[in-house]
Chain A
C-alpha cells in the first residue's frame, strides 16, 4: 500500500502567518493527492483535490502544489478559523490512504 507521510505533525503559528504543510508519498502518485481540514468533533472537509484544484467555496488563501512524491499545502495568511488538523490523502490507488495529520495551533 502507498504510505503518506506529513510534516510537521504539529505546528504553531499566528494569525496572518504564511504556513506550509508537506506530504510525501512512498511512491510516485502523479497528482492524485487531496487535502482535507478537520475541526474537533466534525467530519473532514475537502480543500484541494488533484494536488492543486481548489474545492468550490474554499477561500483562495488555500493552495496546493506538487506532483510525483512531494506535495505542499499552503495557507497564505492564516485566519482564526484555519486552526485545525490537516490531512493529505492519495487516490492513485484504489486502496486509499491518508497522512497522519498536521495539527495547526495558535501561537
Chain B
C-alpha cells in the first residue's frame, strides 16, 4: 500500500516543550513538504525539501526545524520558539515536475497538535 503516513494523529504538549511530528512516504518521491493549516488561512508552507540532505524555508519557517536524512522521511520539529503552535499539520510529497508531467502533491492524513 503506497502512501504517506503521519503520526501521531493527535498530539498534546505543554507550552515550552519541543515536539517532533513524523512523516514517512513509500511513494519514492523526491520532494516533501510541511504545511500548517489554521481555520480560514488555507495551507501555509513551513519547509520543503527537493532532495535528501537539502531543505528550504517556506513562508512561515520561524519556530520550526526539519531534517531530511532519508528519502522516505521528513520529520518536523515544533520548537518552543513557535509562538502559536496549536494547528493541523500536513505533510505532502511529490515527484519533481520534470517527471511525470505534473507536480501533484500527495498529502498525509495530518497531525493535530494542541499545546496546553
Chain A bound to chain B: no
A interface residues with partner B (beta carbon < 8 Å): none
B interface residues with partner A (beta carbon < 8 Å): none
